[in-house]
Amino acid sequence: MSNSLAIETQDLGRIYKLRGSRKETRKELVALEGVNLKVERGELFGLLGPNGAGKTTLIKILTTLLSPTSGWARVAGADVHAEPESVRPRINMVSGGESSGYGLLTVRENLWMFSQFYGVPSKEANERIEALLAMVGMKDRMHTKSSDLSTGLRQKMNIVRGFLTEPDVLFLDEPTLGLDVGAMRDVRRFILDWLKADKERTLLLTTHYMMEADELCDRVAIINKGKVLACDTPTALKQRLQKDALFEIQVSPLNGLTQQMLVDQPEVTKATLTETETGANLSLSLVEEAALARIINLFTQKEIQVMNLRKREPTLEDVFIDLVGRSMAEEEKSGSSE
């Protein structure tokens, strides 16, 4: 493993044996397959994919909580399966929605207790606790029992716990899950400030929020059904689709027009259609901008009125659709499971 790498995996796989009445008929679930990743030290690396894509399974392997079925992984220079005792003191992990901490203890007491598990000197721990709570706007809640905190504040406390030990590699698994918009903004700002303070720190973030990955990450690996489909900077991933002209169109009732009719048009590379109370919202990817006139002509034939139209730049959602064939939300509805 290169000294510049914080995380490296080679052909990493994980298969779960599903319980059945008879051992010989038990089915297998492939949670990860052939995952090859290299994360540089100092990088904010994102794993972007729907719920059930394999993100949490991968993090559990990288944090020594789960053994791989095949391949290998190294974190902070050590093999996670063969040398877990070398990995654990150098990492930390926070999962969104978790309820860690003891309700009878105050915020400061909970954080101090966790710091002692990692052997942080008590004086230094208290200084870090005060500084980190100030960064997330919770200094005034230091002596509040954690049971009296709102869900958002409790999650902020959990996030502070992850940063408190100053790990070489920090894993955040859906850290903003369930937070309101203001709290999500605070957490994202906190993440960036923490990384800026020390260029050697590495953070691996899993998320299914496209905007979060785009806003925060240096590079993003798009993962679905246990496989990494693409890995690059958000800008480079979006530039893959720059050749297409993308339009958002709001129209009156469809009068029989279907999504398949749009897809069947030779100038349409992709189309999604969502009906509303007053009509429908269309998202179209066209081979060229000039093709829009022919689509508008189709609307005219169907007596469909265009209410609003705008051209837009590609997003990571478009990249996901290009790779998978359907949106993140549609993929989650298909019922895949981690």
Kindly give the confidence (pLDDT) of every residue in the chain, 338 residues in length, as a single tens digit, with 9 standing for 90 and above. 567 899 999 999 999 988 765 666 668 889 999 999 999 999 999 999 998 899 999 999 999 999 999 999 999 999 999 999 999 999 999 987 666 678 889 999 999 999 999 999 999 999 999 999 998 889 999 999 999 998 888 888 999 999 999 999 999 999 888 788 888 888 899 899 999 989 899 999 999 889 999 999 999 999 999 999 999 999 999 988 777 889 999 999 999 999 999 999 999 998 999 999 999 999 999 999 999 999 999 999 999 999 999 998 888 998 998 899 888 888 888 764 44
Three-class DSSP category at 97: coil
Global pTM reads: 0.81
**pLDDT attached to residue 243:** 79
Whether the Cβ atoms of residue 130 and residue 107 lie closer than 8 Å to each other: no
**pLDDT attached to residue 192:** 92
**pLDDT attached to residue 329:** 86
Neighbours of 41 (CB within 10 A): 17
Structure tokens, 18: 């599903």
DSSP string, 32-45: EEEEEEEEETT-EE
**pLDDT attached to residue 336:** 46
Neighbours of 44 (CB within 10 A): 21
**pLDDT attached to residue 338:** 46
Supply φ then ψ for residue 106, to 5 degrees: -75, 170
User: What is each CA distance from 191 to 89, 132, 163, in whole angstroms?
Assistant: 20, 11, 9
User: What is each CA distance from 237 to 37, 271, 319, in whole angstroms?
Assistant: 16, 20, 7
